[in-house]
Structure 1
Amino acid sequence: MTAVLPEVAVPVPASTARRIAVRERAALAVLLAGTAVLYLWNLSISGWANGFYSAAVQAGASDWTAMLFGSSDAANAITVDKTPAALWLMDISVRLFGLHPWSVLLPQALEGIAAVGFLYVAVRRAAGPGAALLAGAILALTPAAALIFRFNNPDALLVLLLVVGAYCVQRACEPGSSRWWMVAVGVAAGFAFLAKMLQAFLVLPAFAAAYLICAAAPLRTRLWRLVGGIVALVLSGGWYLLLVELWPSASRPYIGGSQHDSIIELALGYNGLGRLTGDEVGGLGNMNHDVGWGRLLGSQMGTHIAWLLPAALICLGAGLVLTRRAPRTDATRAALILWGGWLVVTAVVFSYANGILHPYYTVALAPAIGACVGIGVSMLWQRRSDLRCATALAGTVLVTAVLAAVLLGRQAEWMPWLRAVVAVAGIGAAVLILVSGRLPRAVAGVAAALAVTACLAGPGAYAVATAASPHSGAIPSVGPGRGFGGGFGAGGGGPFDTPTPKPALTALLSAHADDYTWVAATVGSTNAAGYQLATGAPVMAVGGFNGTDPAPTLQEFQKLVSDKKIHYFIHAVMMGNWRSETSGSREAADIASWVQSHFTAVPVAGVTVYDLTAPHS
């Protein structure tokens, strides 16, 4: 392939420049408006979505301590198993607009729109408006993005902050840039850590490599500014850890997801290295059993993210070859190192991680895929008269169309005609692209439009179907009619599915609620969430999310019952043999056994309830 040649500035008449600017702004407006419709339309269709986080938002919107720590309930028994940055934005939304599904989900939709906008401006600086428009459209139409930006998991804020950080890296690499751009990178990464802990750091090797290799500054300056970014990261993410560790434990909730009431343990263990090794004390391990290079294309994750993954890798490789002789500070190569490093490192980690890894996590790959495809396609298209570039571009279209047909076939009963249309259009577009350097400009433009349509039709249709379907539970999935997270519980709910109590049970729990600190207690945070959202009163999540945290201990629970702090205990079935679970604490199992042996079980609306104010005589 040919190397990049120095660009020669060609004067452009002012009127032409204005028309171009108007067209660019119009295209960006259409992109953002379309994204807004996709992410905001009928947003409340999913109800409380992930009830685990919605209950925490309910608590945080009514109690400042619960908001600060991310408590599961307003009485501050235990926190969620993440740092609470994403919850803070939802708490603010609920405080402004009141508690209902729309106000809980609104921040994530706005974060998605903002992420598309920031990706556009980042890619535009490196490869122009056409590449930026394609990159933004790919992000917006990725099914995992259409899922997460309409859901209340913390991945939405994580993705936005990482895209902002990548944009700041690009600005930091430019000639004459301020040292404050690397500080901004650190701040964005630090707050991304407060959204989803160590997952935020997967992009840091790419950030550092792009800056050190390509920044237009002497090496010493680059090193000092990188140190400044690291300091900003530590301060912007570490202040919260320090605050929680120094706060007296007796006056704050227990740190959910840890075994020793420690947010440092949570960050480094359950939400840190344990996700890589599978050694997560109190965790449930990786339930996908699909570790390996094919995981991202497999049955669990493929329809979430794989649609343009091979295309991104082809475009990344082609772009790096094309820029191999460019100056060290070339902006396009810097962007390729940045976004390509993000893509490769995150993809490898996701493919081989042995701990808990849900398919929707792959939304973190979507911005990098969009950027690599946008930049690479733009470069190859500009050089399409070179047969090698045309062949790479045609191969990208062909591979993408074939993969889309395969992924669509995994739910063959849904729009079966689309597979054939994508395959035929993709093959036809690939042939036209191969000879596009010899075609008239107008015909080549039609070929390009056909290629883009063929490549985006599959993920776009799947993204629309995802947005049109309700999603609930802790593990939502993309696609038509596949929005529910699947629970393992019965009657009292399960670890991945928030129960919806019937009116009789809600009325029972709500009666005399003001007389108790917690109207009820039950094992597992998602179980507790359902009853809390229904009653509007605190419900204690015994054992935290998985029921494996030692909070409260049996002795502490007995004291609370003796002091008339808890009214009812609700039986819950947790996943697998949680009573004999060796990973994590047995306190929840011991509490449940103690309740069953000392209080009378009463069936209420299909759920077993124990009145903790009336022990056996």
Structure 2
Amino acid sequence: MTLVAADPAAEVETATPAASGPVHTKPDLAGPVAQRIALAVLLVGTALLYLWNLSSSGWANAFYSAAAQAGAENWTAMLFGSSDAGNAITVDKTPAALWVIDISVRLFGLSSWSVLVPQALMGVGAVAVLYAAVRRAAGPWSGLLAGAVLALTPVAALIFRFNNPDALLVLLLVTAAYCVQRGIEKDASRWWFVAGGAAVGFGFLAKMLQAFLVLPAFAGAALIAGDRPLGRRVLDVVTAGAAMVLSGGWYLVLVELWPGSARPYIGGSQNDSIVELALGYNGLGRLTGDETGGLGNLNFDVGPGRLFGSQMGAHIAWLLPAALICLAAGLYLTRRAARTDPTRAALILWGGWLLVTAVVFSFMNGIVHPYYTVALAPALGAVIGIGATLLWQHRADIRAATAMSGAVLVTAILAAVLLARNDDPYPWLRAAVGVIGVGAAVLLLVVARLDRPMVRATVALAIAACLAGPAAYSIATAAGPHNGAIPSVGPSRGGGFGGLFGAPEPGPTLTATLAADADRYRWAAAVVGSSNAAGYQLATRAPVMAVGGFNGTDPAPTLQEFQQLVDDGAIHFFIRSHIMAGGFGGHTPSGSQAATEIAEWVQAHYNPITVDDATIYDLTQRATNT
């Protein structure tokens, strides 16, 4: 089967023997100039969506903003991803995503823009690379559709305007997929596999084992469709794996060999080990829920419906059924193609990415947040772009027409359900999507018999029915501020979770008190929990120790170590938090109770001081009755 790029309104392509090539009727205006203009519109529109009103989110996830502040001030903090410039403890991830923000803050100073603009630019880059990858497999209009789906997926509009590590992870994985596609092609250099493996390895340094969810799809596509003998295909996969291990593994070796006394404690681990962090808290523990130092299994929606449920549905579900229809139809339509057919190879790669990641997210029992689903968005876009083009090229076949009609209809129904679920700010949109979707679905059944103006109208109606819902939610997401550790799509409801996960905003008197003489101490203050510490650190611009790390459950520092630091005059104040590693949402986390011991010791030996409704303890002034 020979496939070429087609204008969405072009006549049906007729498959012919490879020697004679495809035969077309009159081509539509889909030349290179129109394609370049459309690509420019896509990328500029994506940039506007992701950059518009960006600073409204302030520090977004203050946990990572504070770490970027520390990394911009201290090279050791930057190398290890420390939460503070005093290098008490790291964030609970490898720090590649922070390195990007650290550089921005070093160049432009600490601000909401310097923290968040790199994320937006990574989003534009991901859309551009996805377009390039899908274009090679199915033509420029397929690439444009794929890029538009990615750009308008609500969780993408959220994460590419936020400073969690997922933005860099997505960009790197899309880049890796592009490299694997290039490596599969005829007469391609093996260096494409090296580059792809290196991109996945660096993705590991952004978000650890989540980067590896794409590996079955990448390896499967290379082994099945690579344009080389089997032995060389195996060698290609091995070469990519070696590049991945080297590009990600060097950092683990560096941290493990670095003296623990000369670097911050590895946050998220119980034994100051980055290998433990990778395999436990950020590894298998995410699948099983058995995470020492974590919050245990708090998930009650495990199962095949999770991606469509109340937590994740609005983030990613809009086009999932359509993607599955396009994937199945695309594989069927290319069933007789040559083993090395690039279109089928791309379907295997992107479809495998989509299926494996969706299954893992649906059934994992450990910590999982709705915004993780941004990892599905590129594969979702690619599968729809490729599959929809294949179906359109075969629209004279009633089976293809029925598949297209069904995809549009189920997408419109799902959009109406999702819009109605969360206090829909656009009640008129539900009705419009339903009416347009039904009309487009009916027209698609007979589209091969329609004249050119009606064909174009049908295409426009189908695209509007499928993208109106996610586009509206993406715009609503971009329109308001989002902050906290666990942001959500749609109209802002005040950001993420509070308490241990929400950064406090200290009053002016407390800020001035903490900042006074801060340069005389290694840490201006200490408080339980990294997000708590981040709020005070960003306000004072002085290092604040996060006792117990992100969840307050890491054994860093121990009570004895904290007491020694106090005796050495390294910490000025201790700030009382209403969450002292005692639980979250009524659940008692596993891990160390060192933070609780430290808090109790401070309260027993130092006098409380109330400043701006906060309770602090001056650790240089021990109570006289102790």
C-alpha deviation, 1:21, in angstroms: 1.1
C-alpha distance in 2, partners of 1:11/1:131? 19
3-state SS in 2 of match to 1:495? helix
Gaps of 5+ in 1: 488-493
C-alpha distance in 2, partners of 1:55/1:417? 42
Match of 2:109 among 98, 106, 117: 98
- Aligned CA distance change for structure 1 residues 338 and 486 (closer, same or farther; 3 Å): same
Match of 1:588 among 587, 595, 607: 595
C-alpha deviation, 1:41, in angstroms: 1.2
Match of 2:193 among 178, 182, 186: 182
Partner of 2:274: 263
C-alpha distance in 2, partners of 1:112/1:569? 39
Match of 1:208 among 211, 219, 228: 219
Q: Does 2:491 align with 1:480?
A: yes
Partner of 1:604: 611
TM-score, reference length from structure 1 = 0.96
Q: Does 2:50 align with 1:64?
A: no
C-alpha deviation, 1:6, in angstroms: 4.6
Q: Does 2:511 align with 1:506?
A: yes
The answer (yes or no) to whether the contact 1:3–1:321 under 8 Å persists in 2 is no
C-alpha distance in 2, partners of 1:570/1:71? 20
C-alpha distance in 1, partners of 2:178/2:316? 22
Match of 1:543 among 514, 530, 548: 548
Paired letter, 2:215: L
C-alpha deviation, 1:169, in angstroms: 0.9
C-alpha distance in 2, partners of 1:193/1:4? 42
C-alpha distance in 2, partners of 1:530/1:43? 20
C-alpha deviation, 1:288, in angstroms: 3.6
The answer (yes or no) to whether the contact 2:14–2:23 under 8 Å persists in 1 is no
Aligned pair count reads 608
The answer (yes or no) to whether the contact 1:50–1:473 under 8 Å persists in 2 is yes
Q: Over residues 537-585 of structure 1, what are the superposed CA-to-partner deviations in whole Å (9 max), with x where a residue is unaligned?
A: 0000000000000000000000011111101000112288339946100
Match of 2:579 among 574, 577, 585: 574
Paired letter, 1:93: S
3-state SS in 1 of match to 2:500? coil
Q: Over residues 211-230 of structure 1, what are the superposed CA-to-partner deviations in whole Å (9 max), with x where a residue is unaligned?
A: 00001111111111111111
Q: Over residues 353-393 of structure 1, what are the superposed CA-to-partner deviations in whole Å (9 max), with x where a residue is unaligned?
A: 00000000000000011011111111101111111100000
Partner of 1:516: 521
Q: Does 2:436 align with 1:425?
A: yes
Q: Over residues 421-462 of structure 1, what are the superposed CA-to-partner deviations in whole Å (9 max), with x where a residue is unaligned?
A: 001000000001111011112211210111001100000000
Paired residues for 1:204-603 under 5 Å: 204-482=215-493, 484-487=495-498, 494-574=499-579, 577-578=582-583, 581=588, 583-603=590-610
Q: Over residues 282-338 of structure 1, what are the superposed CA-to-partner deviations in whole Å (9 max), with x where a residue is unaligned?
A: 001343411000000000000000000010001000001111111000011000000
Identity %: 69
C-alpha distance in 2, partners of 1:485/1:285? 19
- Aligned CA distance change for structure 1 residues 19 and 324 (closer, same or farther; 3 Å): closer
Paired letter, 2:600: S
Gaps of 5+ in 2: 2-12
C-alpha distance in 2, partners of 1:110/1:582? 37
Partner of 1:77: 88
- Aligned CA distance change for structure 1 residues 283 and 506 (closer, same or farther; 3 Å): same
Partner of 2:178: 167
3-state SS in 2 of match to 1:307? helix
C-alpha distance in 2, partners of 1:445/1:458? 21
C-alpha distance in 1, partners of 2:583/2:138? 53
The answer (yes or no) to whether the contact 1:469–1:483 under 8 Å persists in 2 is no
- Aligned CA distance change for structure 1 residues 582 and 143 (closer, same or farther; 3 Å): closer
The answer (yes or no) to whether the contact 1:387–1:434 under 8 Å persists in 2 is yes
- Aligned CA distance change for structure 1 residues 32 and 483 (closer, same or farther; 3 Å): farther
3-state SS in 2 of match to 1:583? coil
The answer (yes or no) to whether the contact 1:259–1:282 under 8 Å persists in 2 is yes
3-state SS in 1 of match to 2:573? strand
3-state SS in 2 of match to 1:498? coil
RMSD: 1.8
- Aligned CA distance change for structure 1 residues 156 and 483 (closer, same or farther; 3 Å): farther
Paired letter, 1:214: A
